[in-house]
Amino acid sequence: MPNEKTYYSLEAGGNLICHKCGIRLVKGNAVFEYLENAFPVELPVCPQCGFVYVPEELAMGRVLSVEKVLEDK
């Protein structure tokens, strides 16, 4: 994740809606944090309540592997 800002690309047209606010999620600035390391990323975010969506492939893929690397630091 370091040195890479975007590692999840929103599908064109966006098919995700915030269940609570009823608003379409947009590409927004988010940040992952772990063991006091921060990684800025772009993820689908609700413009109203700020809910950030982390898709499964991302969580079980890059997020997991970066976690593992940091855990051995």
Partner 1 sequence: MTDHFKERSTRDYHQKQLFAKEELEKRESLCTHEDPPFCNAACPLKLDVKAMLAAVSEGDFAKGRSLLEYITPFPEILAYGCEGPCRRTCRRSEIEESVNIPAIERAVMRHSDVPKARGLLKMRKKQKLAVFGSELFTVAVAADMANKKYPVTLYTEAENEMDLFRRCADLDDEILERQLPLLKKAELKICFGTPLDREFLEKEEAEYDLVCGASYLKEEEVDPVTLCDSRNRIFPHAEKRYSHILQSLFDARRAAVSFERIVQRLDPHNNRPQEGETESHLFTNLNYIPSEDAVAENGLYSREEAIREAKRCIQCECVECFRGCAYLRAFKRYPRLLTREIYNNTGIIMGDHMMNKAMNSCSLCGQCTVTCPNGYDMAEICRAARENMVDTQKMSLAVHEFALLDMLFSNTEGYLAGKQPGYETCRYVYFPGCQANAIAPDTVFKTYEDLMQRQPGGVALMLGCCSVIARWAGRRELYQEQIAFLKEEMHKLGDPIIIAGCPTCRSTLQEHFPEVIGLWDVLKEIGLPEGSGKLQQEVMIHDACGARNDPDTQNSIREIVSRLGAEIKEGNWSKEKSACCGYGGLVSYVNKEVASEMAEECVREDPQATYITYCMACRDRLKRQGSNAVHFSELVYGTAADDAPGLSQKRRNRKMLKEKLLKEVWKEEIMQEKPEFTYELSEEVRQKMEDRMILESDLLETLQAYRDNQMAVYNETDDTLTTRHRIGNVSFWVRFREENDHYTVISVYSHRMTVRTR
- Figure out which of the listed residues 6, 15, 26, 48 binds partner 1, where binding follows CB under 8 A: 15
The pair of structure tokens assigned to 50 is 């700020």
The answer to the question of residue 48 lying near partner 1 (CB under 8 A) is no
Residue 59 site contact among Zn ion, partner 1, none (CB < 5 to 8 Å, cut-off depends on kind)? partner 1
The answer to the question of residue 53 lying near partner 1 (CB under 8 A) is yes
The string of DSSP letters for 51-62 reads -B---HHHIIII
How is residue 63 annotated by DSSP?
I
How is residue 24 annotated by DSSP?
B
Angle among Cα 30, 6, 70 to the nearest 5 degrees reads: 75
The answer to the question of residue 12 lying near partner 1 (CB under 8 A) is no
Residues that bind partner 1 (CB under 8 A): 15-20, 25, 28-37, 40, 43-46, 49-54, 56, 59-60, 63-64, 66-67, 69-73
